[in-house]
Amino acid sequence: MDKRIETLKEKLPDNHKEVAVLTSHIFDALDKLTTEHRRYVDISAAAKIKPNPDEERAFFDTIYQVKTLIMSELEKTVEDIEHKGDKNWHKNYKDGIE
């Protein structure tokens, strides 16, 4: 997803590039959370505490869905910025992008 973020960042004007940087920071934070979760599960396993497979699946599915949602919103934002001033463009966000 880092490559997609960089591609979208290149499409943004200079005064809006921080949106892509923020997205990258959010993804880094989610990756850190995932790493910490894995570490916790590993420590628990060392203490002979088995993780619940359903909870593990739910955790990783939720992280994936959140990342997908954030990326989708960034793409919509970039589209709106690219079409700013276009009378025929149907905005993704009615309240605007600025």
pLDDT tier, 90 (very low <50, low <70, confident <90, very high otherwise): confident
Q: What is the pTM of this model?
A: 0.85
* DSSP per residue, 26-93: HHHHHHHHHHHHHHHHHHHHHTT-PPPHHHHHHHHHHHHHHHHHHHHHHHHHHHHHHTTT-TT---S-
What's the pLDDT tens digit per position in 38-79?
A: 999 999 999 999 999 999 999 999 999 999 999 999 999 999
What's the pLDDT tens digit per position in 14-25?
A: 888 999 999 999
What pLDDT, on a 0 to 100 scale, did the predictor assign at position 66? Answer: 97
| Mean pLDDT, residues 84-96 taken together | 81
What's the pLDDT tens digit per position in 1-40?
A: 789 999 999 988 888 899 999 999 999 999 999 999 999 9
